[in-house]
């Protein structure tokens, strides 16, 4: 419109004066070239997933972690401890640094890793993330800064890209690369604790006739809010926006910004297993068992259910709307440590057709007197990792799988 108006004014401005444009300068009328129709961009939808499975034969001390397209796990070489890293894109395994005594992983996720090293000055706590490099979070700790917890709740987390939490003598402490160290609360109230998105949720050990409230902190800002007591408040899961937890038999949540409570549509009796963004996954235990008869996942306002088909479901993890879980035919498969289960990947929105078998897997010995590593399943950035991976000669191994979508385009 504006260009057309300026062109229309040219003859008026030149009226009564010599022509500013010579005959050779005048624009000849042009015939517009015909428009070539453009092809629409293809529209693609994910119709399934491929899993490329690998194993690394190694003597692991703990379940593995997934962080930043890498699988990280504690290893042992005689009396020396180490941290090994597998690059899932090249499948190369390397020690994170030379093995030495008294080195342990605290946690790893979201591109970050935290570990401890023993020395003459006590335990040193390290934090590393690609955005900030390697930093010392604490020096002189007198014990390994891990916490207790219950296997029926969400797995406790201690580190992400925003920082970490740890125990320092009688205090729960938080640390961020920007603000450094901040003490949060006394140890009496920190037996059950989890971390995520810069927030910390804690509640006291032991039962209470009035229930146990969660105190939620943001590192560097102190206590934000305390939830009302729940009759059976249970280990929570935290995201940047929400706290999810079990209360009075239901999976409830709190919006951290507004400190308002809400209920989810997950069935009564289920307990939080994992959460990401606005989505939450719950395991629904069998009576008097740490294993689940089914799992439920709330993706926005929709709730999806996957039954164990007469078996049991152990660990379960949620990432980008997909659920990874381990399935055994019965609890007896885990009693003597010689059972075989399956790691499955489930797309809830696709129902039963959206599930694939990723890998078969062994089992810990839950009826043995010996101490065995817990079974662990980690899921992040389309990478799955687990321990008790099966090998032809029965050696200890860490398994991992990279997931690629199968797309249909028109």
Residue 119 — very low, low, confident or very high, per pLDDT cuts 50/70/90? confident
Q: Which residues pair with 229 in a beta bridge?
A: none
More confident residue, 34 or 289: 289
- Please state the φ and ψ torsions of residue 306, each to the nearest 5 degrees: -130, 115
Q: Is the pLDDT of residue 32 over 80?
A: no
Q: Is the pLDDT of residue 402 over 50?
A: yes
Residue 30 — very low, low, confident or very high, per pLDDT cuts 50/70/90? low
Residues 81-87: contacts with CB under 8 Å, at least 24 apart: 83/113, 83/115, 84/56, 84/58, 86/56, 86/398, 86/400
Residue 34 — very low, low, confident or very high, per pLDDT cuts 50/70/90? low
Percent of residues, the chain, with pLDDT higher than 70: 80
So what's the pLDDT on residue 189? Answer: 55
Query: Could you tell me how many helices (H) and strands (E) the chain has, helices first?
Result: 2, 32
**Inter-residue contact 363 to 328 (CB < 8 Å):** yes
Burial class (CB in 10 A: 0-12, 13-18, 19+), 388: buried
For 175-225, what is each residue's pLDDT tens digit? Answer: 999 989 998 887 665 567 889 888 998 876 555 666 667 888 888 888 888
So what's the pLDDT on residue 14? Answer: 41
More confident residue, 37 or 102: 102
Average pLDDT, the chain: 82
Q: Which of 133, 128, 124 is nearest to 114 (CA)?
A: 128
- Please state the φ and ψ torsions of residue 289, each to the nearest 5 degrees: -145, 150
Mean pLDDT for 44-69 is 87
- For Cα atoms 233, 146, 321, give the angle at the middle one, nearest 5 degrees: 60
Residue 36 — very low, low, confident or very high, per pLDDT cuts 50/70/90? low
Q: Is the pLDDT of residue 12 over 70?
A: no
| pTM, to two decimals | 0.84
Q: Is the pLDDT of residue 2 over 60?
A: no
So what's the pLDDT on residue 3? Answer: 44
Residue 230 — very low, low, confident or very high, per pLDDT cuts 50/70/90? low
Mean pLDDT for 74-100 is 82
More confident residue, 236 or 190: 236
**Inter-residue contact 189 to 197 (CB < 8 Å):** no
For 315-330, what is each residue's pLDDT tens digit? Answer: 999 999 999 999 999 8
C-alpha distances in angstroms, 279 versus 160, 189, 307, 321?
18, 28, 19, 8
- Please state the φ and ψ torsions of residue 42, each to the nearest 5 degrees: -65, 145
Residue 121 — very low, low, confident or very high, per pLDDT cuts 50/70/90? confident
Q: Count the Cβ atoms, other than its own, within 10 Å of residue 358.
A: 24
So what's the pLDDT on residue 275? Answer: 93
């Amino acid at each position: 419109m504006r260009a057309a108006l300026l062109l229309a004014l040219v003859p008026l401005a030149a009226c009564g004066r010599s022509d500013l444009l010579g005959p050779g300068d005048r624009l000849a009328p042009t015939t517009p070239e015909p428009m070539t129709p453009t092809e629409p961009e293809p529209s693609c939808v994910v119709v399934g997933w491929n899993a490329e499975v690998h194993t690394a034969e190694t003597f692991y001390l703990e379940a593995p972690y997934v962080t930043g397209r890498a699988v990280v796990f504690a290893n042992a070489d005689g009396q020396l401890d180490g941290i090994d890293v597998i690059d899932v894109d090249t499948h190369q395994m390397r020690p994170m640094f030379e093995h030495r005594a008294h080195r342990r992983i605290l946690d790893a996720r979201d591109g970050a890793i935290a570990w401890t090293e023993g020395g003459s000055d006590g335990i040193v706590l390290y934090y590393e993330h690609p955005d900030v490099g390697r930093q010392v979070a604490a020096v002189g700790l007198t014990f390994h800064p891990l916490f207790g917890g219950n296997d029926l709740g969400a797995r406790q987390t201690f580190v992400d890209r925003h920082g970490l939490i740890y125990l320092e003598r009688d205090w729960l402490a938080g640390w961020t690369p920007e603000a450094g160290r901040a003490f949060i609360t006394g140890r009496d109230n920190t037996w059950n604790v989890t971390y995520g998105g810069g927030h910390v949720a804690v509640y006291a050990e032991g039962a209470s006739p009035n229930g146990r409230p969660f105190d939620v902190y943001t590192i560097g800002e102190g206590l934000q809010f305390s939830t009302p007591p729940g009759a059976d408040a249970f280990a929570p899961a935290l995201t940047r926006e929400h706290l999810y937890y079990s209360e009075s038999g239901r999976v409830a949540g709190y919006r951290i910004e507004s400190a308002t409570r809400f209920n989810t549509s997950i069935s009564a009796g289920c307990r939080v297993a994992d959460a990401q963004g606005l989505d939450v996954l719950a395991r629904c235990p069998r009576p008097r068992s740490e294993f689940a008869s089914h799992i439920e996942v709330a993706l926005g306002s929709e709730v999806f259910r996957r039954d164990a088909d007469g078996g049991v479901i152990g660990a379960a993890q949620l990432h980008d709307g997909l659920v990874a879980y381990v399935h055994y035919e019965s609890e007896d498969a885990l009693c003597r440590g010689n059972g075989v289960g399956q790691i499955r990947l489930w797309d809830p929105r696709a129902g039963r057709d959206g599930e694939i078998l990723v890998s078969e897997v062994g089992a810990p010995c839950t009826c043995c007197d010996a101490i065995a590593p817990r079974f662990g399943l980690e899921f992040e950035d389309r990478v799955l990792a687990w321990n008790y991976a099966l090998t032809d000669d029965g050696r200890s191994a860490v398994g991992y799988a990279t997931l690629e979508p199968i797309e249909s385009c028109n």
